[in-house]
Chain A
Amino acid sequence: MITLHDVTVRYGPQSVVGPVSEVVSAGEWVGVIGPNGAGKTTILRAVARLVAFGGEVLLGDTASSALSPRSLARLVAYVPQQPEMPPDMSVGHYVLLGRTPHIGYFGVETAPDRRVCGDLLERLELAALARRPLASLSGGELQRLVLARALAQEAPVLLLDEPTSALDLGRRVDALELVDALRRERELTVVSAMHDLTLAGQFADRLLLMSGGTVVAGGKPDEVLTEGALSAYFGTGVRVMRSDDGDLVVVPRRAR
């Protein structure tokens, strides 16, 4: 469970986020949506303690500020929007980086670490690529690889910043299906910033709509994905329809 108490983030004198108070239950998938600059990335980075913030973030009962970086990395895995992928690093080696929070300062990976990573590569269908350099991978493969590295941390909380922005439509759905399957298998709590509102509605249990650094609406997808709210905060006309499957479909409306 993640609890945010009046979390605020400032860059210099300017407040960019907050105050935000939210609770994310264990096993829940919360999608954070909102226009550019709304503070989606910043709030994720605050939970991962990658920016200085005011207020308090609790992971379970423990304040994140009381944890060592290593302990925090065993509880929270963070995937940035544009992960750094050293082109000449091998796939196997990249996944092993995810074991860092489980390895001592001067230590190296042990056989169990390599087994965890080998299983993950197998699970994400990357095992055949283990020796290949990252430069030779496709966008979809890289996306799965980044997930594999994050899962290698074996942290119960997975923070994903725009996990599918670089993928084509089919790969997007694949990647989100994979996250969904993995979170059920591993009982993960997932918080993801998402641009694609239709997919956000299909995959997340709950959505938080952010604007100007604060949460302006929150709830189940059909409570948040309303024409009024989206039009107001995204600054464009939006139509929300229901597909034959019952999924919400968000379509921008062109001014004519």
Chain B
Amino acid sequence: MSTTVPPPARALPSRATGAVTPAPGAAVLAPVSARRPVLVALGALVGAVLLGISMGPADLSLPDAVKVIASHLPFVHLHAGVSAVDAGILWQIRLPRVVLGGLVGAMLAGGGAAFQGVFRNPLADPYLLGVAAGAGLGATVVIVGGSHLAALLPVAAFAGAVGAVTLTYVVGATVGRQGATASIVLAGVAVAALLTAMQTFLQQQHSQDLQDVYSWILGRLTVATWSDVVVILPYVAVSAAVLFAHRRLLDVLRVGEHEADSLGVRAARIRIVVVAAATLGTAAAVAVSGLIGFVGIIVPHTVRLTTNASYRVVVPVSMIGGAAFLILADIAARTVLSPGEIPIGVVTAFVGAPFFLFVLRSRRIGRTA
């Protein structure tokens, strides 16, 4: 027996679509705005900085700390009213550490966001293409070479990082289909494995230096000075400016290389510019801070999951949020086992990974509800 059910009314009457006349100027789409998430992230950054300068073994209140900083500002004539020792601790030890942590965090998170954008791969970050392995090898060569080379460590780490990504790019772009992102990522995995093997071999041959190498690999902001800040500031500034300037184009790349090309951009060229900028900035950051892990993955993804996925939001908010995150992680690193310190890479992983899983989970639940 056959039954017939009356058809449901169609939301769009057939053929009516073609007859609708456009309402003139009916709607101007709202602009893509990052204002609110940027303000929230800035709030978090200010909080992290204030916490960072007021916490530590020396007993310095927050108002005193702010006064000391204000007394260093040009055109401000203020007597901080704290001892010279306390003022020195704040200005020479705490503040450069907070500032350096902020710059490194901003660069690692911004670089991660940019790499995920150009490779359209949620696990991509500068480390994946060889920054970590190259910097690790460069640093290890200097450390096992002896203490007279110590001043060269940042330079070697920087050169190792930049060299590794360059090698990855050249190999990936020549062995695979032209412009294929997957072959570049795979080349990065191979280059990283090779350099890590070389680094491990060196380390094993010079086991007396094991602890130094290991502590560099886990990352440290312990010995941060203003000169470190001055060294990386130009790289971070230029890199951040380039990434920020490409935030809209990173959105265009989200539809894939061919469709982006058909929209009139040169996807492969944008990728090279963004990768070069992010690599230089990240290499400078790891050169002074060692290999602090996870920041480039968890910060951009947390931003994506809690705001919207547009790179106009993800790039700036990841940078600001990454700065705040690393300053907070460093506070934990130096206070939890005070007067001892936990390597900051341990803190970022230990705190960051569960937090990220929490965000991921709550977002899933929110979506299915």
The interface of chain A, by Cβ under 8 A from chain B, is: 48, 50, 68-74, 76-78, 80, 83-86, 88-90, 92-93, 95-98, 100-101, 103, 105-109, 111, 114-115, 117-119, 121-125, 127, 130, 140, 153, 170, 173-174, 177-178, 180-181
Contact = CB atoms under 8 A, between A and B. Distances in A.
A153 B263 contact: yes
B261 interface: yes
Given A106-B245, A114-B31, A177-B15, A86 B255 contact: yes
A118 B252 CA distance: 19
Contacts of A80: 258-259, 262
Contacts of A130: 27, 29-30
B245 to A, nearest CB: 5
B28 interface: yes
Contact of B26 (A83, A88, A118): A118
A45 to B, nearest CB: 8
B18 A178 contact: yes
Contact of A69 (B24, B254, B264): B264
Interface string B292-335: 00000000000010001110100000000000000000000000
Given A50-B261, A80-B259, A114-B30, 11 more contacts: A70-B265, A80-B262, A88-B304, A89-B251, A89-B310, A98-B263, A101-B263, A118-B28, A119-B25, A119-B26, A174-B12
Contact of A86 (B10, B18, B29, B254): B254
A100 B32 contact: no
Contact of B264 (A92, A101, A109, A117): A101
B17 A177 contact: yes
A170 B261 CA distance: 32
Contact of B29 (A96, A100, A124, A153): A96
A95 B27 CA distance: 13
Contact of B258 (A50, A85, A106): A50
Contact of B309 (A88, A114, A121): A88
Interface in B221-265: 245, 248-249, 251-252, 254-256, 258-259, 261-265
Contacts of A127: 26-27
A73 B262 contact: yes
A92 to B, nearest CB: 5
Interface string B170-214: 000000000000000000000000000000000000000000000
B14 interface: yes
A84 B22 CA distance: 27
A97 B28 contact: no
A97 B311 CA distance: 13
B181 to A, nearest CB: 13
25 contacts: A69-B264, A73-B262, A84-B256, A85-B255, A86-B309, A88-B304, A92-B29, A95-B29, A97-B251, A97-B252, A97-B255, A106-B245, A114-B29, A115-B25, A115-B28, A119-B22, A119-B24, A119-B25, A122-B23, A122-B26, A123-B20, A127-B26, A130-B30, A153-B263, A177-B18
Contact of A83 (B12, B27, B255): B255
Contacts of B308: 88, 90
Contact of A125 (B20, B25, B259): B20
Contact of B28 (A77, A100, A111, A181): A111
Which 5 pairs, one residue from A and one from B, show the smallest C-beta to C-beta distance?
A: A73-B264, A181-B18, A118-B27, A101-B264, A70-B264
Nearest to B19: A181
Q: Which of B19, B259, B262 counts the most A-chain CB atoms under 10 A from its CB?
A: B262
Interface residues of B, number: 40
Interface string B20-50: 1011111111111000000000000000000
Contact of A84 (B20, B255, B264): B255
A86 to B, nearest CB: 5
B258 A92 contact: no
A88 B306 CA distance: 12
A177 to B, nearest CB: 5
A121 B255 contact: no
B266 interface: yes
Contacts of B256: 84
B261 A69 contact: yes
Given A84-B256, A86-B309, A100-B265, A92 B30 contact: yes
A86 B249 CA distance: 15
Contacts of A86: 254-255, 309
Contacts of A84: 254-256, 259
A163 to B, nearest CB: 14
Contacts of A90: 308
A145 B258 CA distance: 18
A131 B258 CA distance: 26
A61 to B, nearest CB: 20
Q: Which of A93, A103, A181 counts the most B-chain CB atoms under 10 A from its CB?
A: A93
Contacts of B263: 73, 97-98, 100-101, 153
A93 B258 contact: no
Nearest to B245: A106
B242 to A, nearest CB: 10
A84 B254 CA distance: 8
Contact of A123 (B22, B258, B312): B22
